Amino acid sequence: MALPADERQAAIPADDGENTVVDGVSPVFAEHEDAGEILFQQRVDEAVEKAVAARMAGVPRPMYFPATDVAPPKGLLLYSSKQSQAPFPFSFALEGYLQARWLELARDTTEWTDSIGITRPIKNENVFNLNRVYLQSQGFVGSERVLWNIALFGSTDAGLIVNFVPLGFVGFAITEDIRVGGGVTQVPGTREWLMSSRWPMGVDRSMANTFFRPSYSPGVLFMGSVLDKSLSFQAGVWNGIDGGFAGVFRQSTAMAWAGNMWWEPLGPFGLGYSDMEHHRTPAVRIGTSGTYARTPVSLFPLAPLLGDIAAYANPENTVVRLSDGTPIAEPNALGPGTQLEQFRYNLATVDVGWKYRGWSAFFEYSWRLLNGFQGRGDFNRQRLFDHGGNLFLGWCFVPRTYEIYARSSALTGAYGSAAEYGGGLNWYLNKSRQSRLTFETLYIDSSPAQNFLYPYRAGFTGTAIQTQYMAVF
């Protein structure tokens, strides 16, 4: 090992200007009885240092890859070795995000009556939460074509009752742009559902999307892009429209089939709906999706004991509801003496997005048909048709920093109609999507949706005020 610089300097007599250096050693130094040994050791130390530096240069070092204008962050790359570097290629990257949220719900009414005739209370709320805690690791193993992904998702919306929900995917890259694999993933349903909750315009997704969309489920997925990456798609088959009871208790081989595709004819559309990046030329995305499933009704087994708190088993699980908010699985929901056991779920959507010089717009419309009812009693209806959509408009008036937006969604069906409208302000800290503070106010009229990750409670009419700080890493 080489001597520290100060000790090495102290070991060499000072040159008084009269000594002549020969082969790097002064005559005074040469007279020292250990001069030859010290010189040899110096040369050995230098050779070792060079060898170690060369070896370390080939060892992968942790590196962080932030988001770009068109791609999400790759996160902290802890290790990566390719086929040309190691006999067993492997990579491991870590990323995630946190949403810290304050929510206040100020009711306009104190109760609502569902389709069964039961009158239920409407409550005010004022809460702080880590609304989402998401940690994901990903990479490849054994080959750069064998891809893996493991994620944990949780929320404090139910205090300590909720556990982290495991998500994951293992697949194979057929080409650079086309992959196939299986795991627990989102069931493609609506565009807004497939857009990550890291990038919404505002605090979170819309009421209409919360009402219509499917959820997560185990399944097999085929995805990729063609035509120079301008046309992308996802399609596959899953256990059910959600990985909870609709997937576990399905009958026979009934599964959910779903697909989604989108076209970006003018170039990459980028993340989210907003144009905080200020596109210099217009960006357009046009998409569509479809979902079909024969599904059992999904009422949580502990619901009679725990009430709404049972829904926290997985906050993103889908409970199919009538357009007034009544769970379709409730006894008597479709008429006196009825109990639905199985039905067909059909969903179709179209969407379009636009960005240009800080201005942005996003619109999606959904059609849902529920039919094929099986169960006990005489149903009032043999089919239920609901439809509705959402609209987001934004203006980033200070590029990459401040953005104002307006948002609305509405839907209608056999049991009633609902709407929401409002807006807010986004402040992008450090001029990045990865750090954002949002202030938002919504007025909600007769919500048919319920999900405690969002400000939606079945039957609620009133105002939702939300403040959220989100950090993506």
d(CA 349, CA 186): 16
Beta strands, E only, 174-247: 178-186, 216-226, 231-238
> Residues 455, 131: contact at Cβ < 8 Å?
no
C-alpha–C-alpha distance, residues 123 and 463, integer Å? 12
Q: How far apart are CA 321 and CA 157, in angstroms?
A: 21
- Run of H or E residues at 404: strand 402-413
CA distance linking residue 343 with residue 154, whole number of Å: 30
pLDDT tens-digit readout, 55-113: 655 566 789 999 999 899 999 999 998 877 778 999 999 999 999 999 999 999 999 99
Q: Which residue in this structure is represented by tokens 């919360």?
A: 210
Rounded to whole angstroms, how far apart are CA atoms 140 and 311?
A: 35
Contact present, 447 and 456 (Cβ < 8 Å): yes
Return d(Cα 389, Cα 420) in angstroms, integer.
Answer: 11
Give the ranges where 137-213 is alpha helix by DSSP (H).
191-194, 207-212
Tokens of residue 115, six digits: 């389709």
Q: Which residue stretches of the chain have pLDDT < 50?
A: 1-31, 301-312
Q: Residue 7 in 3-state DSSP?
A: helix
Token pair listed for 155: 């929320």
Cα(120)–Cα(450) distance, integer angstroms = 14
Detail the DSSP E strand segments found in 108-124: 111-113, 119-121
Q: Which tokens belong to 289?
A: 């999706």
d(CA 362, CA 344): 29
Q: Give every CB contact of residue 36 below 8 A, 6+ residues apart in sequence.
A: none
SS3 141: strand
- List, as own/partner pairs, every contact residues 147-153 make where C-beta atoms lie below 8 angstroms and the sequence separation is at least 24, other chains included: 147/171, 147/172, 147/173, 147/179, 147/181, 149/183, 153/316
C-alpha Rg value of the chain to the nearest Å: 30
The CA distance from 241 to 255, in Å, is 8
Alpha helix (H) residue ranges in 13-103: 27-31, 35-57
**How, if at all, do strands 90-107 and 231-238 pair?**
unpaired
Q: Tell me the β-bridge partners of 233.
A: 224, 261
pLDDT at 10: 40
CA 89/CA 77 separation, integer angstroms: 14
Angle at 87 between CA 82 and CA 88, to 5 degrees: 70
| Amino acid, res. 78 | L
- How deeply is 377 buried, as exposed, middle or buried, from its count of CB atoms within 10 A (0-12, 13-18, 19+)? middle
Q: Are 289 and 263 spatial neighbours (Cβ–Cβ below 8 Å)?
A: no
Instruction: Write the pLDDT tens digit of every residue in 303-342.
Output: 444 444 444 456 777 889 999 999 999 999 999 999 999 9
- Contacts (Cβ under 8 Å, ≥6 apart) of 37: none
51 Cβ contact partners less than 8 Å away, ≥ 6 residues apart: none
If one counts every other C-beta atom within 10 angstroms of the C-beta of residue 226, the result is: 12
DSSP H helical segments within 177-243, as ranges?
191-194, 207-212
Structural domains of the chain in order of their starting residue, each with its CATH number: 5-57 (no CATH), 63-472 (2.40.160.10)
| 163 φ/ψ sector (left φ>0, alpha ψ -120 to 50, else beta) | beta
Q: What is the pTM of this model?
A: 0.84
Q: Which of 241, 231, 146 is nearest to 193 (CA)?
A: 241
